[in-house]
Amino acid sequence: MGIRVLGTGSYTPAFQVTNDDMAKMVETNDEWIRTRTGIGTRHISDGEPTWYMGAQAAKRAIEAAGIDPAEIGLIIDTTITQEFCTPSTSCIIQREVGAVHAACFDLNAACSGFVYAMDTAHRFLKTDPAMKVALVVANESLSKITNYSDRSSCILFGDGAAAALIAYDENALYTSHLGADGTGAKYLFARSALPASPFVKPERYAAYDDQMGAGPEGWEHTMLQDGKEVYRFATHAMPKAAKLAAEKIGFSLDDLDKIVPHQANMRIIETAMKFMNQPMEKAVTNIEHHGNTSSASIPIAFDEAVRSGEIQRGDKVCLVGFGAGLTYAALIMEY
Ligand code: UT7
């Protein structure tokens, strides 16, 4: 009932913005950022688009898997920072990697996106015997929707991409839990472009704008968050998702070798590990070097751990995240 991970890959821009660089933009300092978040630096795109980063990560995953791209039957791309409303980013990645037989669509579950997409791909592979291999890509340029005058949020985010190729394996360990709480949508959001339609009456449009608030001037298309509410949600949602996934198959979290959490804040990770009764040594973390790259954060950490040997074949691994929506998701599998 599970999946085999055939290969992983990741890509991050070469350009980096350190905490000291941040301190030149807003009133902050390296010590505050490190102690409150665990972040030291973040990779930021100085030109490469989101789709390009995703395509690079996908090519590396294909190379690691050693398969012919024509074998890929499905591409799911997950992003909140795509260049185009249409076509989907997954179609562009298909073009770039030459996966000529793949069905393609994008999925938005914010920072939980990679886990949502892996679980969706698993369900496709399970029910369609002709679909042998799926490519899941997470790519983000959060710098495009970050307000660099807001010190409480701009220090958090980075850019990057990662990908995984998976195949269905009836005998492999697998369980998952996906969830959401839409009442928390107002705690973390970024607007799409305002309607360009000449028929829209701004006051009528605004009347539907009940929950989210317009945000201060200059924030129209950047991320607004209530950091404390998101923090509170995150520390409970990740353990909840992991426990509910494990309970479905009578699996004990104690039997996990590694947990790869969403890299949002080191303090969130530490608290979530405590609520799961798991030691910090099991947590895979790379937040110091990347910050929060939304849906790309879990697969970048996963790929780095695979390539460094921190995660080995046979390890039982939990991928667990939370994000805007508010969403949460966990999956447990054997690498
Ligand atoms: O993918 C999900 C994305 N979002 C998140 O994961 C956000 C989750 N929340 C958090 O990670 C934390 O709430 C933050 C890192 C955003 C904030 O940390 P905090 O420990 O909750 O700080 P705070 O908001 O309680 O602020 C404490 C103080 C405030 O000053 P006063 O009012 O006590 O004088 C802030 O103005 O720290 C100040 N502050 C800063 N100081 C220096 C806020 N940001 C900064 C900063 N540098 N960058």
**pLDDT value at position 161?**
98
Tokens (6 digits) for 24: 């030149």
Tokens (6 digits) for 80: 């909140």
- Would you say residue 290 lies in a domain? yes
Residues 80 and 148 in one domain: yes
Query: Residue for token digits 């998976």?
Result: 166
Instruction: Please tell me if the CB atom of residue 228 comes closer than 6 angstroms to any atom of ligand 1.
Output: yes
CA of 44 to the centre of ligand 1 (A): 21
**pLDDT value at position 242?**
98
Contact criterion met (CB below 8 Å) for 185 and 325:
yes
State pTM to two decimals: 0.96
Instruction: Please tell me if the CB atom of residue 190 comes closer than 6 angstroms to any atom of ligand 1.
Output: no
Residue to substitute in 36, 154, 229, 287 for testing ligand 1 pocket (most ligand atoms within 8 angstroms of CB): 36
How far apart are alpha carbons 71 and 132 in whole angstroms? 7
- Would you say residue 219 lies in a domain? no
Residues 259 and 165 in one domain: no
| pLDDT above 70 coverage of the chain, percent | 96
- Would you say residue 24 lies in a domain? yes
Locate the ligand 1 atom nearest the alpha carbon of residue 111 and give its number: 1
Residues 26 and 155 in one domain: yes
CA of 299 to the centre of ligand 1 (A): 25
Residues 144 and 253 in one domain: no
pLDDT tens digit sequence for 1-15: 789 999 999 999 999
Residues 147 and 180 in one domain: no
Residues 103 and 178 in one domain: no
End-to-end CA distance of the chain: 14
Residues 307 and 329 in one domain: yes
Locate the ligand 1 atom nearest the alpha carbon of residue 157 and give its number: 3
Tokens (6 digits) for 191: 């607007």
Closest residue by Cα to atom 45, ligand 1, is 152
How far apart are alpha carbons 262 and 326 in whole angstroms? 14
If residue 86 lies in a helix (H) or strand (E), which one and from where to where? none
Contact criterion met (CB below 8 Å) for 251 and 332:
yes
Tokens (6 digits) for 96: 């770039």
Instruction: Please tell me if the CB atom of residue 32 comes closer than 6 angstroms to any atom of ligand 1.
Output: yes
- How many independent structural domains does the chain possess? 2
| Parent domain of 297 | 174-184+224-334
Q: How does residue 200 score in pLDDT terms, banded at 50, 70 and 90?
A: confident
If residue 142 lies in a helix (H) or strand (E), which one and from where to where? none
What's at 143, amino acid-wise? S
How far apart are alpha carbons 193 and 198 in whole angstroms? 14
Nearest partner of 161 among 263, 76, 50, judged by Cα: 50
Dihedral sign for Cα 262, 265, 304, 276, please. negative
Contact criterion met (CB below 8 Å) for 141 and 159:
yes
| pLDDT above 90 coverage of the chain, percent | 89
Residues 228 and 134 in one domain: no
Instruction: Please tell me if the CB atom of residue 261 comes closer than 6 angstroms to any atom of ligand 1.
Output: no
Nearest partner of 138 among 332, 299, 334, judged by Cα: 299
Average of pLDDT values for 194-217?
Answer: 70
pLDDT of 231 above 90? yes
Instruction: Please tell me if the CB atom of residue 18 comes closer than 6 angstroms to any atom of ligand 1.
Output: no
Instruction: Please tell me if the CB atom of residue 22 comes closer than 6 angstroms to any atom of ligand 1.
Output: no
Locate the ligand 1 atom nearest the alpha carbon of residue 294 and give its number: 1
Locate the ligand 1 atom nearest the alpha carbon of residue 228 and give its number: 13
Locate the ligand 1 atom nearest the alpha carbon of residue 155 and give its number: 48
pLDDT tens digit sequence for 285-335: 999 999 999 999 999 999 999 999 999 999 999 999 999 999 999 999 999
How far apart are alpha carbons 193 and 170 in whole angstroms? 44
**pLDDT value at position 210?**
57
- Would you say residue 216 lies in a domain? no
Alpha carbon 246 to chain centroid distance? 21
The more confident residue out of 318 and 208 is 318
Residues 24 and 155 in one domain: yes
Residues 20 and 120 in one domain: yes
List residues with catalytic annotation. Answer: 111, 262, 292
Query: Residue for token digits 């997409």?
Result: 117
Contacts of 154 (CB under 8 A, 6+ apart): 22, 25, 26, 146, 147, 148
Three-state DSSP at 180 gives strand
Residues 151 and 248 in one domain: no
Task: Return the CATH number at 36.
Answer: 3.40.47.10
CA of 13 to the centre of ligand 1 (A): 26
Contacts of 111 (CB under 8 A, 6+ apart): 262, 264, 292, 294, 295, 297, 321, 322, 323, 324, 327
Closest residue by Cα to atom 28, ligand 1, is 152
Residue to substitute in 19, 37, 42, 152 for testing ligand 1 pocket (most ligand atoms within 8 angstroms of CB): 152
- Would you say residue 202 lies in a domain? no
CA of 322 to the centre of ligand 1 (A): 18
Q: How does residue 192 score in pLDDT terms, banded at 50, 70 and 90?
A: confident
pLDDT tens digit sequence for 249-280: 999 999 999 999 999 999 999 999 999 999 99
Give phi and psi for 296, each to the nearest 5. -80, -10
Residues 229 and 256 in one domain: yes
How far apart are alpha carbons 298 and 62 in whole angstroms? 18
Three-state DSSP at 107 gives strand
Contacts of 4 (CB under 8 A, 6+ apart): 166, 167, 168, 169, 172
pLDDT of 51 above 90? yes
- Would you say residue 200 lies in a domain? no
CA of 147 to the centre of ligand 1 (A): 14
Domain boundary (169, 197, 232) is at 169
How far apart are alpha carbons 102 and 90 in whole angstroms? 10
